[in-house]
Amino acid sequence: MAKNGNRILVALGGNAIKQAEERGTAEEQFKNVNTTAIHIVNMIQHLGKDDRLIITHGNGPQSGNLALQQDIAKEQIPPQPLDVVGAMTQGQIGYMFQNCLQNIMTAKGVKVPVISVVNQVLVDRNDPEFVGENASKPVGNFLTEEEAMRLKAEKGWIVKKVKPNAPKPWRRTVPSPDPIANVEAEAIKILVNAGAVVVASGGGGIPVVKENGKLVGVEAVIDKDLAGERLAEVVEADTFLILTDVEKAKLNYGKPNEKALDRMTVAEAKRYLAEGHFLPGSMGPKVKACIRFLEWGGKEAIITSLDKAVDALEGKTGTHIVKG
């Protein structure tokens, strides 16, 4: 089927579902998702008849909390591995987005179908993320240094400082292998082409490897932005819009000479990445994903905050990454 219109892949950060200072109750998360859904419906209302919107999202706080919850109850109930935890949180968050988007669109008279997909993403068993202390994906709640060191000693967790200026800058990190391909690509394409708003590759997708011709789940959490870029290829997106908790990416983040970026070329983005301006646990994967998207053939990648999404699509704000 020939592609018509403009296709936008929206990658939502964890703040769209759970704020750092929140406990993570269902009520809190529904409130956040509803606020996010209002912005998404606003984007949908700005689309043309042949345009398409595809959504992916993080699940770090949810998967981290669910894994901890299972660890606490392990004497009574067998804990599930991270791939199953990923599937469980995909279902949880997908339900919240479907529910809120459907309710808001019904109230506004917007008739667009919404569906979330339980989605596997292929990774390599030999990825260096599975080796030693290389694990780089933050999951679960933010921690003080004292909390982080205690959990490292008690549970053998790998913990890293991921948000330098935050009151609780530490988080647990788990292997985050590079995504190779989206397993349900064909099904997702059919849904998008049919006009549905599809929520897919949630939390970076359920990590699976191929062993003897079969798909097998592995203990990991794939970065949602890198997996989102693979999803963008699948749906032939024109624009890759990464929504996070800052309006623009910055050079010298957290330092006195911090500088917000309005625009950068792929070459500049690669140079800034190599110079260490974008932290591995936060902005680094976002910029890397944008570079991949543009090198694959996408037209534009944008990094901005959720409340500035429409303005960023109109070129009024955000960090815009272009080919050159």
As annotated, the active-site residues are 14-15, 137, 224, 286
Spatial distance between the Cα atoms of 254 and 246, rounded to a whole number of angstroms: 12
Spatial distance between the Cα atoms of 13 and 305, rounded to a whole number of angstroms: 9
Q: How far apart are the first and last CA of the chain?
A: 30
CA dihedral in degrees (205, 196, 193, 236; nearest 10)?
A: -40
Taking a C-beta distance cutoff of 8 angstroms, is the pair 54, 101 a contact? no
Taking a C-beta distance cutoff of 8 angstroms, is the pair 245, 260 a contact? no
Conformational region of residue 5, where left means phi above 0, alpha means psi within -120 to 50, and beta covers everything else: left
User: How many other C-beta atoms lie within 10 A of the C-beta of residue 79?
Assistant: 16
Taking a C-beta distance cutoff of 8 angstroms, is the pair 309, 39 a contact? yes
Q: Which residues of 197-215 are buried (b: 16+ CB within 10 A; e: fewer)?
A: bbbbbbbbbbbbbeeeeee
**Tokens coding 285:** 């994967």
Q: Say whether 274 sits in a helix, a strand or coil.
A: helix
Which one-letter amino acid corresponds to residue 282?
S
Burial class (CB in 10 A: 0-12, 13-18, 19+), 235: buried
The conformation of residue 17, written as its DSSP 8-state character, comes to: T
Taking a C-beta distance cutoff of 8 angstroms, is the pair 22, 253 a contact? no
